[in-house]
Structures are given as C-alpha cells and as structure tokens.
Amino acid sequence: MNQSGQKSEAILDAALPVFVRHGFRKTSMADIARAARMSRAALYLSFSSKEELFRAGSARAHARAMRKVEAALAGDGDVFSRIETAIAAFQRELVAPFAGSGDAAELFETNMALARDVTLAARAELVALLAQALTNAQATGAITLDALRATPADVAAIIVAAMEGIKDAQVAGHDLLEDTRLFLRLLRKALSR
C-alpha cells in the first residue's frame, strides 16, 4: 500500500470509534483530526469532505466484511453452518460495531444516504454468494428446495432480507445473535430433506 493509502487507513481507524461514539452529525472534522493526531487540514489531503471520509469508511468496512463472508462460505461444515458462520461474520463486521452506539440508527441512516451504492452492492454480493452455496448444496443433495418451490437465489434473498429486518429490530432493542440463531434454525428445518 502506498503512503497516502496508509494515511487514509490510519484516519479511518481513528474516525470509526468517534463516529460510533457521537454519530455522524455530532462528529466534527476537528474531532476526527484530534483522534487521528493530525491537523484538520491534513484530513482534507486524504479526503475531500466529511461525507467522502464516511463513504470510504463504509466501503472499507463492507470490503472487509465480504472477505470474511467468502472465507466462511469456503470453510468446513455443512451448508447451514457455513451460512451461519458467514452471516455471523457479516454482522460482526457491519452491525455489531455500531450496535452499542446509541446513535446506531442515525449511523445506518447516514450510511444509506451517503454510501447506498456500496451497501447495496455488498448486499447483492452476499445474496449471490449465498445462492451459490445453496446451489452447490442442492446439487449434492444436502438440501432440497422442491417443496418450497423456490430457487436458491430466492432463498438467498430471503435470508439477507431477514438479516436486515433483524438488524433493524435489534436497533429497537431485540437481541441480534439470538434472533439470528432462531432464524437459522428455522432455515435448517425448512431446507432439510
């Protein structure tokens, strides 16, 4: 990685806990500069605006999350446990860090406003990866979708949609891990032959 890239990484590392602590709106560039131990002007050498800085942070988090998801789906175990691990990784990277924030809702909202494309792309890739895993499992006879009259892509989309809903409910007080595990038990039962 080049020097400016390293600097950008350091800035994002410093900015994340500040955003988590105060939310996007209440976080000023001065706050981020202080956390990154550099001048406010230096931030603008790496990012052209507070919004672009946030976008870069979101993009990096999504890229990291997708690498973890790919690793999980390529791992050991049956298709359900691989999916469970993948989803856990996705949530650990993109939901859990903000869950205790108090401004979690504002941060997710800001993310959809400023980094909608990145977010939707990652979500689409997650659907595609899950669909591929389900297709493989179907080919080996590990699962059956016949009774559901659904394609692997349909099921993958439902899984991701449910994760989104569970994330939102968690902001409203529900327990993320518990709700996720319940949904995956439900999935296992529905797809077992």
Partner DNA sequence: GACGATTAGACAATATTCGTCTATCTGTCT
Partner DNA sequence: AGACAGATAGACGAATATTGTCTAATCGTC
113 sits near DNA (criterion: CB under 7 A): no
- Residue 98, classified by CB atoms within 10 Å of its CB into exposed (0-12), middle (13-18) or buried (19+), is buried
Buried b (16+ CB within 10 A) or exposed e, 29-59: bebbbebbebeeeebeebbeebeebbbbbbb
7 sits near DNA (criterion: CB under 7 A): yes
- Interacting span for its own copies (CB under 8 A) from 21-29, 39-47, 170-178, 180-188: 21-29
Selected from 9, 21, 44, 154, the binder of DNA by CB under 7 A is: 44
Site for its own copies in 80-119 (CB under 8 A): 102
Site for its own copies in 118-147 (CB under 8 A): none
Sign of CA dihedral 24, 29, 34, 36: positive
51 sits near DNA (criterion: CB under 7 A): yes
Contacts of 164 (CB under 8 A, 6+ apart): 123
190 sits near DNA (criterion: CB under 7 A): no
Which of the listed partners (DNA, its own copies, none) does 21 bind, with a CB threshold of 5 to 8 Å by partner kind?
A: its own copies
- CB of residue 92 vs its own copies: minimum separation in angstroms? 24
